[in-house]
A and B are shown apart, each in its own frame.
Chain A
Amino acid sequence: MATVNLTIKPFKALEGLPRYVYVLAVITALGLLAGAYRLYAGLGVTTNLSTVFPWGLWISFDLTNVAFSGAAFTLAMLVYIFHMHDLHSAVRPTVLFGFLGYSSVLVILFFDLGRWDRFWHFLVYPNLSSALFEVSWCIAIYSGILAYELSPVFLDRFKNEKLSRIVEKITIGMVIAGITLSSMHQSSLGSLFVVQIHRLHPLWYSMMQPEFFLVSSLSAGIAAILIGSYASIWMFKQTLSEKVLEKLGSLLPWFLIAYLLMKVVDLFWGNKIGLLLTSGVYSALYVAELALMLSAAIWFSIKRLRASRQNALYGALIIATGIVINRFTITWFALSALNGVRYFPSWVEILLLIGVSSGVIVVYALIAHFFPVFSETLAVKDLPKHELAKLKIDQPVSGD
């Protein structure tokens, strides 16, 4: 057992950390500097937000990120509720991804608040009819639950078996609470736009927005796991087996078709067919999203495609594009459609976002370096030969 003393030899402990982590750490620092400048100078000077466009890139990022971070609750549901134990190997990396995803949302939101020093006010000033109040509470509690679901990773490292057993005993209760809270805040993020009937383009406005966001987060979450599994081949030399990817992929057509059916019902029910033909760029975005989701549903219903690592990645990227189009259209492009205002983020907005995103990868890599996040995953060097050849990896685990 290698027992590394973190407090005495921190630099020795960092040996073997991939080199890109250092680069990303520098970018994170730059991003946080931009953030500090925003806190010092105020939102007016540092962002392109304005009276007619009070939310921008950060909110679009937050909502997209929450959808992808839905990976954690989707997987927890499949493994612990639906007993798909063969997906268990994905749990730790996915829960860590979800936890850091939510953390980055909270960090960005902090910079987005006019009174960031009062970020905790939602705890003591309740407004039960506010979707944002609901979202704040759900995300705060859910972050705690994700930390709990993540705790075995740390307990394993410190070999605390007594505590591990206690944690395991109430896991199922925590998982159900986590899924419930996730359903609440995923849908409440959609509720944010229900009140904006006068602002959001009518084609994109729907009373079913909460349900759209909730159901699409299932597909977004699985797509995030598939993409993450591919990215971690290069980043951590770890991945999921094609069997796990195939099983995850096999669920996507169901989630996607459910989403598409809801969208079609909304088109007819809300009398929006006419709008679909006449709304120019908003129609194009609408059709693009639905077409991407439909093609992904077909893609993943073909076993030969979803059973291959590369093809699962392509399919997941199709879904991710659809999700990004959806969230960015609702939070940005179609939000001030009616007063014709254009907005483009400032360099501070962009830099802070890149910095925080890099920070997520840095923290992920650090935790994975010190703690057994990839305890059940497949090391790249153990991949079957034909896969290694496809990935163009000749030497098992060549260094950087």
Chain B
Amino acid sequence: MAKYGFLIDASRCIDCRACLVACSVENNVSMKSTRIWIKDSAVTGEFPDLKRYSAPFHCMHCADPSCVSACTVGALKQNADGIITYDNKACIGCRYCMYACPFEVPHFQWDQQFALITKCDFCVSRLEAGQAEPACAATCPTDAIQFGSQKEMLALAHDRIEKQPERYINHVFGEFENGGTSTFYISPVPFDQLGFPTIETTESPAHFNRIATEEGTPIIAGAVALGMTGIYLAMEHFEKKPHTDRKPNGTEEK
């Protein structure tokens, strides 16, 4: 299955927030807990030549998502089409994903009695129902949010930068960040000015996590279990009945 992707163009965003409303309606959540929020640069330039840029920000849907590798109960999963889904029936609200995600995407329902995580899932139920686009992309009046296959979106991003180098900086955010994602951003200003997180690693933290959990832990467990058994047997062998009254496991059986 081809992977889905987003292309979000900060030069087209007019900060109308229709995507937030669409997200709220589609996912039946209050405006306070939409899965999109707006990142913007401060107003720059001198009057009357003022500039301000903004872009909607939501889950990047990483190729190797750290939230998925961290989630205690496997509530976060990656689909074959690259979507990171969230199972609100499994989640226990431990908030480990909030620490694992380098983009600070998973949010928590702090005001709820029984609180869960909220996170964009590409409107997966909408796509499964046969609709063409997630709600935010369908709503965006300036086509700042575009939806399609991941390959197409990445090609389109590079195409736009190439054709209008004066309009964009030469950086597709999401192409290499965190080992690559399914959401790409292009912008007229550097992304840190838009308030995007600076991602220095091109390898996903999920990679390091797996080294620790899937390789380190079994090695430690095996080494300790074998070592302890070996030392115990050796001690039993070399230390013949020194404290018969305290022997936890009688030597007489041997």
Contacts and interface: CB of A to CB of B under 8 A. Distances in A.
B228 A127 contact: no
A117 B114 contact: yes
A285 interface: no
Given A85-B243, A88-B246, A211-B220, 20 more contacts: A52-B104, A55-B99, A81-B235, A113-B94, A114-B91, A115-B116, A121-B90, A121-B92, A128-B213, A130-B69, A132-B94, A134-B213, A168-B249, A175-B248, A176-B232, A188-B212, A190-B212, A195-B209, A198-B201, A207-B212
A176 B210 contact: no
Interface stretch (A42-50, A154-162, A260-268, A364-372): A42-50
A285 to B, nearest CB: 20
B192 to A, nearest CB: 13
Given A80-B232, A126-B74, A210-B217, A194 B115 contact: no
Contacts of B66: 195
Contacts of A133: 72-74
A340 to B, nearest CB: 13
A82 interface: yes
Interface string B184-214: 0000000000000101110001101111111
Contacts of A335: 99
A199 to B, nearest CB: 6
A183 B224 contact: yes
A130 B213 contact: yes
Contact of B99 (A41, A77, A187, A196): A196
B30 interface: no
Interface residues of B, number: 61
Interface in A111-139: 112-119, 121-122, 125-134, 136
A126 B71 CA distance: 9
Contact of B224 (A41, A171, A180): A180
B194 to A, nearest CB: 16
B100 A196 contact: yes
Interface of A: 39-45, 49-52, 54-55, 77, 79-83, 85, 88, 112-119, 121-122, 125-134, 136, 168-169, 171-172, 175-177, 179-180, 183-184, 187-188, 190-192, 194-199, 207, 209-211, 214, 335
B75 to A, nearest CB: 7
B199 A114 contact: no
Interface of B: 66, 69-75, 90-96, 98-100, 102, 104, 107-117, 197, 199-201, 205-206, 208-214, 216-217, 220-221, 224-225, 228-229, 231-232, 235, 239, 242-243, 246, 248-249
A131 B96 CA distance: 10
Nearest to A52: B104
A42 B248 contact: no
Contact of B71 (A127, A169, A211): A127
B110 A129 contact: no
Given A51-B107, A121-B92, A184 B232 contact: no
In terms of DSSP, what is the predominant structure of the interface of chain A?
helix
B239 A83 contact: yes
B228 A195 contact: no
A207 B208 contact: yes
Contact of B220 (A88, A136, A184): A184
Nearest to A193: B99
B207 to A, nearest CB: 9
Contact of A54 (B75, B98, B197, B228): B98
A134 B99 contact: no
7 contacts: A121-B92, A127-B69, A194-B208, A194-B209, A195-B212, A198-B197, A198-B199
Given A114-B116, A194-B209, A119 B248 contact: no
Contact of A77 (B111, B228, B229, B242): B228
B98 to A, nearest CB: 4
Nearest to A192: B96
Nearest to A205: B208
Contact of A125 (B73, B117, B221): B73
A129 B249 contact: no
A77 B225 CA distance: 11
Contact of A176 (B93, B111, B229): B229
A136 B72 CA distance: 9
